[in-house]
Amino acid sequence: SQTIHQWPATLVQPVGSPLSLECTVEGTSNPNLYWYRQAAGRGLQLLFYSVGIGQISSEVPQNLSASRPQDRQFILSSKKLLLSDSGFYLCAWTPERNVYGYTFGSGTRLTVV
């Protein structure tokens, strides 16, 4: 069966520090991968998505970047965190558009102080 792993679960980082959040999927090949962010009390905002290794599309200009070094690995990064980067970050995957529901990871609660 397919599973998605996301870590860490919580993270407190000072302003100006780097960030690296990792997401991996098991039990499938060539998944579509997504990073979402949810600010407190708000909906989910799509940040990045990837349909294959090295293929990254960004939805909004921001202080973050994403990479997909392997088929089932998706990494969210920042060189220098801002206070506004605080939020709940979710990784998701789907094997095929419109056929199966999207499966989300358990999320990372990032607090920038």
Partner 1 sequence: LAKTTQPVSMDSYEGQEVNITCSHNNIATNDYITWYQQFPSQGPRFIIQGYKTKVTNEVASLFIPADRKSSTLSLPRVSLSDTAVYYCLGNRDDKIIFGKGTRLHILP
Asked if residues 75 and 68 have their Cβ atoms less than 8 Å apart, the reply is yes
Task: Name the E strands within the chain.
Answer: 3-7, 10-13, 19-26, 32-38, 44-52, 55-58, 65-70, 73-78, 87-94, 103-104, 108-112
Q: How far is the CB of 29 from partner 1 (least distance, A)?
A: 16
Pick the closer one to partner 1 by CB: 45 or 73.
45
Q: How far is the CB of 68 from partner 1 (least distance, A)?
A: 14
Contact between 51 and partner 1 (CB under 8 A)? yes
- Per CB under 8 A, the list member of 24, 32, 78, 86 interacting with partner 1 is 32
Which residues between 87 and 106 bind partner 1 (CB under 8 A)?
88, 90, 92, 97-99, 101-106
CA distance 57 to 67: 10
- Per CB under 8 A, the list member of 59, 63, 111, 113 interacting with partner 1 is 59
β-bridge mates for residue 94, sequence order: 32
Q: How far is the CB of 16 from partner 1 (least distance, A)?
A: 26
Q: Compute CA 100 distance to the chain's CA centroid, rounded to the nearest angstrom.
A: 19
Dihedral of the alpha carbons of 20, 24, 30, 32, in degrees to the nearest 10: -60
Residues that bind partner 1 (CB under 8 A): 32, 34, 36, 42-46, 49, 51, 59, 88, 90, 92, 97-99, 101-107, 109
